[in-house]
Amino acid sequence: MTATDGSTVGGVPPEVVAFLSGKGGRSLIIKGGAGTGKTTFGLELLERVGQPSRSYYLSTRIGDEALYRQFPWLKTSEMRSRVLDSAKLFLDAINTSGKSRDPELPESEQKKIRAGREVLGSFGQDRGPPTRVDRSHLQALLKRSPMPEVENVYNRIERNLPEKSLLVIDSLEGITHKYGLEMEEFVMALQKDLVEGSSSDVVMILEKPEAGGIEYLVDGLISIQREELDERRVRHLRLEKLRATNIGRARYAVTLNGGRFEALGTQRGRGAAGTTGAWKPFPDPERYYSTGIPDFDALLGGGLKRGSFNAFEVDVNVGIDDYYMLFTPTFLNFLSQGRGIIAVLAAGESPEKLRDTLVRHVPPNQFDTRVRIVDYTAGETEDPYILPMARYGRDEAMRATVTAEKAVSGPDRKPFIEYTAFDTFESLMGDQVAIRMYFQGVARTKHVGNLGIGLLKPGLLVSSEILNMMDTYFRIINVDNAPCIYGIRPRTTIYAISPDPEKGPPHAVLTPVV
C-alpha cells in the first residue's frame, strides 16, 4: 500500500508517504498535546505505509488489549502481529533468558540466517544494502540498563534485512522514563543504529507539543494541534520538516472518525472531470427532497423539507467548485426526475459552466427546457436557458418570470428549485429591494412546495433579515484547504465535503470532523 509517486495512501498526506517511501531509512517525530490523535496517526502509518511482515508498533504506555478496545480495526490477524506490547516483550525476555536471541525461530533456521548474513557481509557493507543491525549505540545504553523490548525489536528488524522495516514507538517519554535515559541519547541510538546503519524507518511519538533539542536529531517533524472553531473541535496536522521531500501542503485538517486517522482534502484533484454517466436519482422521502448526497440526507433527517428555504453562507476563501460539490447532486437529482431549476447565479458563477457540468449526467435538451438562469445584466441571448432581464421593464420582467416558472415546472406543474445568490440581488437592486424580493420568493416557495436554496456571501446587508426566515442555516468554510460544512440551524458538527471515493464526482460524501 506504499506509494512513491506522491499519491495518497488512505488518509495519510502524500508528503508523508513520499518521505517514508524514499531510499534509505528516515526518522520522524510526531508531537502534540493529549487527545490530538498522535497514537491514531502512528497506527495509521503502520497499516497504510508499512509492509505487513516488516512493520511494528511498540507501545510503552498502553497494553495491546486496551488498544484493541479503542481501535477495533487492529484486531485483524495481520495487524495483531505488528502490535508489540512493551510489558509482554519484557516478560518474554525474562522467561527466555539465556536462550537464543531469536526465540521465535528454531535454532537450525537461525543458523541458516546467520550463515547467509556472513556470506553477504563478506562482500562488504558498502557494496549493497545492510544485512546486520548495527548495535553499537544500543550496547552503550544497555551497559546502564537492560531494555529487553528494544533488543527484541532490533532482532526483528535484523531478520528482515536487507528489506526495509518500519518501527513506530509510542511513546518516547514512556520508554526513556522507564529506563532512566535522556531522550536525546535514546533518539541518537535509534538514528545511528536503525535509521542510518540499517536503513529502517523509525517513527517516534512525543507526548508533548514541543520537541526541544531532539528535533535536530531526526529527519522529519510533524505536529498535531487541536482547536475550537465556533465551539466545534478541529484538529490540524502540520508538516514542520520532512528532509529531502517536497512539501506541497504544510497543513491538513484531520478527522479521527471511526477511530481512523484521515487527513482531509487528500483525495481532491483525482478525477476532477468526474464521470459522464446518467445520474440515477435518489428517492425522495415523504415530505423531503433528497439532496443527492446520502450523508447529507441522513444529517437532515431525510433531506431538505418540501416548501423550505435553506441558507448556505459561504466563507470568502471557499471556491465555487468547492460549494458546488454540495449543490450539483441536488440539481441533478431534480433534473433527473423531470423537475426544473430557476437560478440567480452569484458573481463568478458561469451559466455555461453550470450547463456543461449538468449535461454530463442529464440530456442537454432536458437542461435547456427545464432550467432558467436569470441574468439581470443581459439584454440579448441565443441560449434558451438564459433569461435576459436587462431588456425588460417591470411589467415585462414579471411576465417573463411567470413564463420561466411555467417552463421549469413543465406541463405537469412539478415543483422546482429556486437557487438565489443574494449578493447579486443586493449589488444590483440594493438591500431593501432584495429583502422584498426575498420575502416574495419565500412565500411562493412555501405555497407551491418548491425547494429554496439561498447563497450568502460575507458582508451582505440583507443577511440578518434573510437568516431570520430561513428553515435551515449552514456555513461552508475552508479548513486547511478542505471545504467543510456545519449547521447553525440545526446545530451540527463540522463535516468535510469531498468527492465520493468510489463513485467519483459529482457524487459527494460528508465526513465528520471529530
pLDDT for res 76: 63
Looking at residues 182-208, what average pLDDT do you find?
94
- Does 255 score more than 80 pLDDT? yes
- Does 266 score more than 60 pLDDT? yes
pLDDT for res 503: 92
CATH at residue 343: 3.40.50.300
pLDDT for res 415: 93
Are residues 476 and 387 part of one domain? yes
Smallest CA-to-CA distance from 172 within 63, 39, 43 is with: 39
From residue 392, give the alpha-carbon distance in Å to each of 383, 397, 401, 433. 17, 5, 11, 17
Are residues 245 and 331 part of one domain? no
Question: How do 232-242 and 220-229 pair as beta strands?
Answer: antiparallel
Please calculate the CA angle 251-257-262 and round it to the nearest 5 degrees: 35
Out of 94-108, 261-275, 425-439, give the one with best mean pLDDT.
261-275
Are residues 506 and 390 part of one domain? yes
Are residues 115 and 178 part of one domain? yes
Q: Which of the four pLDDT bands, split at 50, 70 and 90, describes residue 288?
A: very high
Are residues 31 and 73 part of one domain? yes
Are residues 182 and 232 part of one domain? yes
- Does 400 score more than 70 pLDDT? yes
Q: Name 201's bridge partners.
A: 166
- Does 59 score more than 70 pLDDT? yes
Are residues 259 and 292 part of one domain? no
Please calculate the CA angle 339-341-345 and round it to the nearest 5 degrees: 165
Give the lowest-confidence range in 194-208, 312-326, 380-394, 482-496. Answer: 380-394
Are residues 258 and 337 part of one domain? no
Q: Which of the four pLDDT bands, split at 50, 70 and 90, describes residue 461?
A: low
pLDDT for res 381: 79
Q: Name 171's bridge partners.
A: none
pLDDT above 90 as % of the chain: 54
Residue predicted with more confidence, 62 or 26: 26
pLDDT for res 446: 72
Q: 245 is in which domain, residue-wise?
A: 14-263
Name the one residue in this structure whose C-alpha cell is 470532523.
513
- Does 6 score more than 50 pLDDT? no
Smallest CA-to-CA distance from 82 within 206, 195, 166 is with: 166
How high is the mean pLDDT of the chain?
Answer: 83
In a domain, 87, yes or no: yes
Are residues 199 and 56 part of one domain? yes
Q: What is the number of domains present in the chain?
A: 2
C-alpha cell at 229: 472553531
Are residues 459 and 362 part of one domain? yes
pLDDT for res 172: 92
Give the lowest-confidence range in 216-220, 343-347, 481-485. Answer: 343-347
